[in-house]
Structure 1
């Protein structure tokens, strides 16, 4: 029988693939061409041509654009939906469908054998083609169970492939093999379980992305998806948010998960992740609209949708997240601020012009505040734009300003007296209106003007009522929450465990009403002193601890919201300080002592008030009190040092004769050891960690801003190097690493410190030798010691962009000091075996740092001196026979020194440089001994002191370069028994 002649025989599969790799636009035409051949010649004939062509594609592992187009074209051809547009299928269409099913089955069977190849590119491309075909296979295609089981088994094996790209494509291929089980939760499915293990343990970001996109969404797997909204890779975080947007409804998430997702996504530093979070927010907005439409049968207004979303997020427990949601809706034009407030004003339940006895809801109050603040801010920006432009553009901006201001006038109460009455109505109303009152107070600060005497008088009455009454049954009690709630409301007063936001809003309202921070402070001081009761003589007998805490908290909040430091008259400060000291500082409650110490610190910092007795109170609190009180005392000392210089407290505390008694010296101990005197008190672990974090953060700020202090109040370079060394070791401390806030502070500091300016780079450079020797003395583990050396090399390479000449000079000094230190270490003639082991650690570490310096920018004369110093190192020492040392020698080889001939003047300069280094090290070694020497010594100690003085005198005599600066006795090893 003669073979049927093809009408399209002139177009081969190879030619179609060649054209497909050039452009995607030709794919549709080429697919129709091959489908015609498939109908005429059958699946096996097409596959005989297709398989050899694909064999070439399987050998390409790289992500080549042409190869990716070919793969995409093959998947499109094989899985093309035939006859979708036809009402009834013709015989030709039925034949194409049959041949297409046969082609898919044959192609998958052939590719399945390729997945077992030893070549990684073959496994990768075959899995990629299988994943593409299975992802787009038409619904009419039915494959044999044996083939499906073999595909499932082989792709499951490829999930453990050593090549990440193969694992990713195998995960794609298995996506449609997941089975939900009887409960539909996929909890018993083997593939889903494998996905969960991969997404939590695979180190490759592409694998995690593919698994996140492929895993079936259910209550069982939702936690695995949600955890990757905090993934270290931004592309994985983006994929997680895209999955939440497309597959997970808001109702499937808990209230905490909804708020966490919003906060993390909308505040993410990467724009791509924020964009994916916006897509999730848009989907939630549409979902809420559909729910409201189903419930009411009408299209919901924007205000109803926003309030519905806020109710779903629990607005009182998550105020910051709900405020962020409204702002994002406004910025992305999902909701218009002007239309939103008009809709709120038109609603009887939400309008501010209320005559009914009903109060505003929490969601409605927050919406009012954020929307009105947005309108006011936009009006100010457009007003500035109108002033900076001219002509038609200026007129447009002015018109928009007028529209926004008119809108605010229409929707807000007619006068400030009416607005204050609205606030007072909620204060006197039913239980639990604290959140609404706080929103109204902030709204008044933003959009209401207290210009006339009547409105100011009413506002003062409201302010004094809220500031002086704590036990108002309707407003000032915390909400009673159910025991099965995930998280309690934070709607109470600060003394009841809240976060202080209520007090902050009240202080802003007070400043608005009284006209200035100073007037508000004067009124508040009299209220608080009456509220505290008692006196400096009789203490606080009969006064509730909550009243004392709340009174100190209000004053502290007022200080924190003041724009100027001189907001308190100096005549009032001594009286207030004595009152607080008598009533609160010695109170038995920790919270009272904590807030009173904070208040006393605020008084001293804001008014420059000084009292010896008050200083003693801070010192006592720092030494012996609870860690919460210690923390506030430490904040005061650190703030005092930050304002005036780190040595300012030392000069201020003249009553302490020794340097160790200085508070900053006491706090410095917390940098080096967790066993210092200030950390020996028994207390809660979190309070102790927070105290140490405050101390560490304070020293980091002092080091960063050290250049602005006067010379008498600043640390010396040696003191800065000592603190820097302590901070380096603290960065590798296990206890520090276990507390994320402290570790984050240190990491941020080291990322920028060396690059600030030349002085900070000098501190980093001068601390290298000191840090390495201290690390050897502490006997760090080899792994940790290696990490520390790599960390130092990383820091010394981060140079400031400005002052390049000065930085190069610093690097020359560093290189010289490193070489001199290696020479000094190697010149020791007789040492303990333990000290020899230390030397074997120090020299290679210094050599690694030396190799990271940019020698090409050094002065040629300085390089010659360094080369001479390197050549004088003992050749017989095994430490100087390594490749690293040879590389250093080659790097510093310049001129005659490279050929073994050294000019006499260069040799003389090198000797002088080394002698100066020895003299400097000798002074550094002697200084601590003289400072720490006790006043009275035992006879044996006197003899030892005389020996040390003789040794110090010997070092002052002229010595040769090869003789050690610190002479030692010839000693046997401690491991040898005499």
Structure 2
């Protein structure tokens, strides 16, 4: 006995280890070694026999308690502890322990208690994630694990689903092609990550999903997830598991643009990690190809080439700036490396226009961004040197000198040399338009045109670029093969974004010294090209140059107002009726600029815009819609209606025509009734219209009363936008959905007035949802959405917010009373009531009745007391909570309070029906009198029927039987269906 006691005292208790492990992580390593020693001595079954009861206590805790999480981590560390291969006994016992523990945990995953399911799945996930390589599991156990844990992916508790997803990560099978296309677990993951509402579940699934071409789309789509933590996880997965070569060029640029511009710092940091990983990956590929470590400039150029610089200029510029900001590369060292290379230097021979000596697109962009960064840093440090003193000022001054000296060394020695460099690329074999644009922008940043000679050279280059198009192969596209025909590409063509013209305008302002002089030069050059009979390329080029003048010029004052009618007539004669869509599009855009500049003095052009809006191509419609919306933004949404529609200048108000585009049923709108149902141009047109109305709604309070929308008109537009937010077609076009989402996120919190519009729209939106016969799930989403919006109140003017909520509560209660007090209701209307009234009750619960005025609360409580509490619609817990919130604390309602409640209800009914309050009161009194007259008649008729029946019974009955006295009761009032109100 003494020997057994001594041996027992030397063994370590599992319960004791649990107690110590929950206190601190620092003792885990020591405790794991002690339990491993006991495992080797006593065997797996004895250890599990003591381990299972301790885990059973652990599984009863569902909350994320720190002590419990430490114990879970300790159990996983013990079970999966790496064992030396020389210790065969311990290896065998560990394998048996893992197998037995997983089998026992599998039985726990079926428990009815959510905490047991959660902890069992968590332990299974931990053990399988850290399972040593030497441990093998039986096939039947693996199959059972797959089946049972896969069932937990559909668990109603999100935490259980998340841990089940972690547990199944190592069970995914790639198949013969390694794409995981036929794997059931991968398919379940993709379905879960696409449809699960819980962000933690989506995060875990993204981290667990096997990466392949088949699954990459599921990962990439969540870089736009609504939750920032899910977006961060998606970028971390792309950084750690997805090489840049696995993504197509568009996906690479989309990921970089979204991530590096994300509003959340955590997501932006994750995107930076992805960019750094891609940078290192490119560096390793170059090293493997050449056998030598590449320079920083070579690596950056290779990264830019993989992103297609010419097609994604903005994204590539963002990449270079991010590499500089993250100190992964240095701007000064990069420009020195580029200057030292014969293929990349700016100081090249320009005598022979040989295309092989021209800069590449990536190199030109890199030069522009780097030189601009160095120049900007020099200016900032120069300001810092001026604001400081002593050693700090000296340090800043030396850095400024170093940066400016670097720019002088790498740039051409004079402005003439830089102009020669630009001209060299203009006259090159391929006409490198993109490179020339980068050099023009670089000249605007870093080159001074101080002397007359350099200015004269710059003016020559500017006029050449603005006027010539086909001479000497200027701006021709690069020929891919000798057999292919070359084609002319002007300064602007279909598909261009206008950035070339903006760069040219900026360069012209630099050379001429002012925007006014540059604008007059461009007008004279462009008008020579906008003539009847000219080619479509010439007409488009001239219109775009003039549009660029107006868009980039600081003010319209740079052009004389007397020139506007002449310019407008010139453009209209040559372009408005042209057969090419691009010509009509740019001409309508330019004429809109003229109209806005002249305050719409040329009323003859209004018919042109109206015709373009009604019957032209969607690209032209878009420009016409922009003009009318810009006009509304400047003067008010009713400006066009008051100024043009009433005096006959146009037959229909254009803003009212565009308002029809807000309807969910786009086919019913005249402007959207063409067959091009899914064209990108149509979606862009509708997006422009929706965005314009969102801006008008936001700024409506800034306009005068004559030109602003009324509250009712704003509620009508808000209702349309609310349903457009749930429209599938709208959701399929991301730019439009993003505009609407941003609007709803901020509109209710902008100002007490905008909050009042949101609250006033609650009831119309709910009633419109019933009228449209939405599915219960969609109807519930609409109600929850409106409830969410009325809870987002502005921070300023709390009294106005409470007053608005009080009005909303009053209208909701009056509507409920009106719904149940109808004389007769059709059968389908009763179904609608069953849907509407519970929704109104749920909204009432969110209005915080405790903050309302006490007298108003009493009146609303009196109105609520009129609702039939025995009706199953109101026999709910929510309605009981509403009654408690508006309880007056008095058993009986006073006559004065009842009179006030009646007056309030009469006022609501009158406002609802557009009638006079006195007329409504008279109608209600008349109905009460009719009921009072009809009730005695009904009683009298019933008494006569009872008397006749009694007389017949007396004649049939035996003489000795006495007839019992019958107590007559008036029959309950009958509800007669009234005729529907139908429109002619």
Is 2:671 the counterpart of 1:678?
A: yes
Instruction: Identify the residue that residue 592 of structure 2 maps to in structure 1.
Output: 601
Give, in whole Å, the separation in 1 of the partners of 2:364 and 2:846.
60
Give, in whole Å, the separation in 2 of the partners of 1:603 and 1:236.
48
Instruction: Identify the residue that residue 620 of structure 1 maps to in structure 2.
Output: 611
Give, in whole Å, the separation in 2 of the partners of 1:788 and 1:107.
50
Deviation of residue 875 (structure 1)? 8.0
Give, in whole Å, the separation in 2 of the partners of 1:112 and 1:51.
12
Q: Which piece of structure 1 moves more, 715-724 or 128-137?
A: 128-137
Query: Of 552, 555, 561, which residue of structure 1 is paired with 2:543?
Result: 552
Matched ranges for 1:460-609 at <5 A: 460-472=459-471, 474-479=473-478, 493-533=491-531, 540-541=532-533, 543-608=534-599
Instruction: Identify the residue that residue 959 of structure 2 maps to in structure 1.
Output: none
Is 2:643 the counterpart of 1:643?
A: no
Deviation readout 1:631-674 (Å, 9 max, x if unpaired): 21111111111011122222332664499722223323333463
Deviation of residue 842 (structure 1)? 5.6
Deviation readout 1:161-185 (Å, 9 max, x if unpaired): 6655555545545545555565555
Is residue 736–residue 742 contact of structure 1 (8 Å, CA) maintained in 2?
yes
Deviation of residue 365 (structure 1)? 0.8
Instruction: Identify the residue that residue 26 of structure 1 maps to in structure 2.
Output: 27
Give, in whole Å, the separation in 2 of the partners of 1:531 and 1:373.
34
Deviation of residue 334 (structure 1)? 0.4
Deviation of residue 13 (structure 1)? 3.7
Is 2:700 the counterpart of 1:701?
A: no
Deviation of residue 300 (structure 1)? 1.8
Deviation readout 1:537-595 (Å, 9 max, x if unpaired): xxx12x11121112111211221112223221112211111101111112222221111
Matched ranges for 1:229-268 at <5 A: 229-268=223-262
Deviation of residue 9 (structure 1)? 0.8
Q: Residue 30 and residue 431 in structure 1: after superposition, are their counterparts in 2 closer, same or farther (change >3 A)?
A: same
Deviation readout 1:393-441 (Å, 9 max, x if unpaired): 3433333333222222222112222111111110100215111111111
Query: Of 739, 756, 765, which residue of structure 2 is paired with 1:762?
Result: 756
SS at match of 1:814: helix
Is residue 626–residue 683 contact of structure 1 (8 Å, CA) maintained in 2?
no
Give, in whole Å, the separation in 2 of the partners of 1:679 and 1:69.
61
Give, in whole Å, the separation in 2 of the partners of 1:491 and 1:11.
83
Give, in whole Å, the separation in 1 of the partners of 2:130 and 2:976.
81
Query: Of 879, 887, 896, which residue of structure 2 is paired with 1:893?
Result: 887
Deviation of residue 364 (structure 1)? 0.8
Q: Which piece of structure 1 moves more, 37-46 or 792-801?
A: 37-46
Deviation readout 1:891-936 (Å, 9 max, x if unpaired): 33336xx3324264x55554554454455445x36xxxxxxxxxxx
Instruction: Identify the residue that residue 723 of structure 1 maps to in structure 2.
Output: 717
Is residue 217–residue 247 contact of structure 1 (8 Å, CA) maintained in 2?
yes
Query: Of 736, 749, 752, which residue of structure 2 is paired with 1:742?
Result: 736
Is residue 172–residue 211 contact of structure 1 (8 Å, CA) maintained in 2?
yes
User: RMSD value over aligned CA atoms?
Assistant: 3.7
Deviation readout 1:266-289 (Å, 9 max, x if unpaired): 233333332222222222222222
Is residue 476–residue 488 contact of structure 2 (8 Å, CA) maintained in 1?
no
Give, in whole Å, the separation in 1 of the partners of 2:725 and 2:553.
36
Deviation of residue 714 (structure 1)? 1.9
Deviation of residue 846 (structure 1)? 4.5
Give, in whole Å, the separation in 2 of the partners of 1:403 and 1:552.
45
Query: Of 266, 278, 288, which residue of structure 1 is paired with 2:282?
Result: 288
Is residue 44–residue 96 contact of structure 2 (8 Å, CA) maintained in 1?
no
Q: Residue 878 and residue 960 in structure 1: after superposition, are their counterparts in 2 closer, same or farther (change >3 A)?
A: farther
Aligned residues: 919
Is 2:331 the counterpart of 1:350?
A: no
Matched ranges for 1:631-670 at <5 A: 631-653=622-644, 656-657=647-648, 661-670=652-661
Query: Of 89, 95, 111, which residue of structure 2 is paired with 1:104?
Result: 95
Deviation of residue 602 (structure 1)? 0.8
Instruction: Identify the residue that residue 966 of structure 2 maps to in structure 1.
Output: none
Q: Residue 681 and residue 328 in structure 1: after superposition, are their counterparts in 2 closer, same or farther (change >3 A)?
A: same
Q: Residue 291 and residue 839 in structure 1: after superposition, are their counterparts in 2 closer, same or farther (change >3 A)?
A: closer
Q: Which piece of structure 1 moves more, 54-63 or 16-25?
A: 54-63
Give, in whole Å, the separation in 2 of the partners of 1:844 and 1:51.
49
Give, in whole Å, the separation in 1 of the partners of 2:176 and 2:907.
83
Deviation of residue 315 (structure 1)? 1.9
Is residue 475–residue 489 contact of structure 2 (8 Å, CA) maintained in 1?
no
Q: Residue 901 and residue 336 in structure 1: after superposition, are their counterparts in 2 closer, same or farther (change >3 A)?
A: same
Q: Residue 239 and residue 875 in structure 1: after superposition, are their counterparts in 2 closer, same or farther (change >3 A)?
A: closer
Instruction: Identify the residue that residue 365 of structure 2 maps to in structure 1.
Output: 366
Give, in whole Å, the separation in 2 of the partners of 1:218 and 1:180.
9
Deviation of residue 524 (structure 1)? 0.8
Query: Of 286, 300, 303, which residue of structure 1 is paired with 2:297?
Result: 303
Give, in whole Å, the separation in 1 of the partners of 2:124 and 2:820.
64
Is residue 490–residue 541 contact of structure 2 (8 Å, CA) maintained in 1?
no
Deviation readout 1:722-760 (Å, 9 max, x if unpaired): 333333343344544444333332232222222221222
Q: TM-score, normalised by structure 1?
A: 0.85
Q: Which piece of structure 1 moves more, 611-620 or 266-275?
A: 266-275
Deviation of residue 962 (structure 1)? 5.1
SS at match of 1:498: coil
SS at match of 2:311: coil
Instruction: Identify the residue that residue 87 of structure 1 maps to in structure 2.
Output: none
Deviation readout 1:936-978 (Å, 9 max, x if unpaired): xxxxxxxxxxxxxxxx8x965962755579x99x985569xxx
Q: Residue 468 and residue 310 in structure 1: after superposition, are their counterparts in 2 closer, same or farther (change >3 A)?
A: same
Is 2:402 the counterpart of 1:403?
A: yes
Q: Residue 964 and residue 668 in structure 1: after superposition, are their counterparts in 2 closer, same or farther (change >3 A)?
A: farther
Matched ranges for 1:849-928 at <5 A: 849-871=843-865, 887-894=881-888, 898-902=890-894, 904=896, 906=897, 909-921=900-912, 924=914
Is residue 764–residue 796 contact of structure 1 (8 Å, CA) maintained in 2?
yes
Is residue 378–residue 400 contact of structure 2 (8 Å, CA) maintained in 1?
yes
Is residue 441–residue 505 contact of structure 1 (8 Å, CA) maintained in 2?
yes
Instruction: Identify the residue that residue 324 of structure 1 maps to in structure 2.
Output: 318
Instruction: Identify the residue that residue 537 of structure 1 maps to in structure 2.
Output: none
Structure 2 unmatched runs, 5+: 482-486, 932-974
Deviation of residue 331 (structure 1)? 0.9
Q: TM-score, normalised by structure 2?
A: 0.84
Q: Residue 491 and residue 242 in structure 1: after superposition, are their counterparts in 2 closer, same or farther (change >3 A)?
A: farther
Q: Which piece of structure 1 moves more, 804-813 or 830-839?
A: 830-839
Instruction: Identify the residue that residue 942 of structure 2 maps to in structure 1.
Output: none
Deviation of residue 793 (structure 1)? 3.1
Give, in whole Å, the separation in 2 of the partners of 1:181 and 1:844.
52
Give, in whole Å, the separation in 2 of the partners of 1:460 and 1:377.
26
Give, in whole Å, the separation in 2 of the partners of 1:838 and 1:72.
54
Give, in whole Å, the separation in 2 of the partners of 1:190 and 1:874.
53
Is residue 22–residue 66 contact of structure 1 (8 Å, CA) maintained in 2?
yes
Deviation of residue 44 (structure 1)? 5.4
Instruction: Identify the residue that residue 90 of structure 1 maps to in structure 2.
Output: none
Give, in whole Å, the separation in 2 of the partners of 1:500 and 1:678.
27
Give, in whole Å, the separation in 1 of the partners of 2:157 and 2:824.
54
Structure 1 unmatched runs, 5+: 84-92, 483-488, 534-539, 926-951
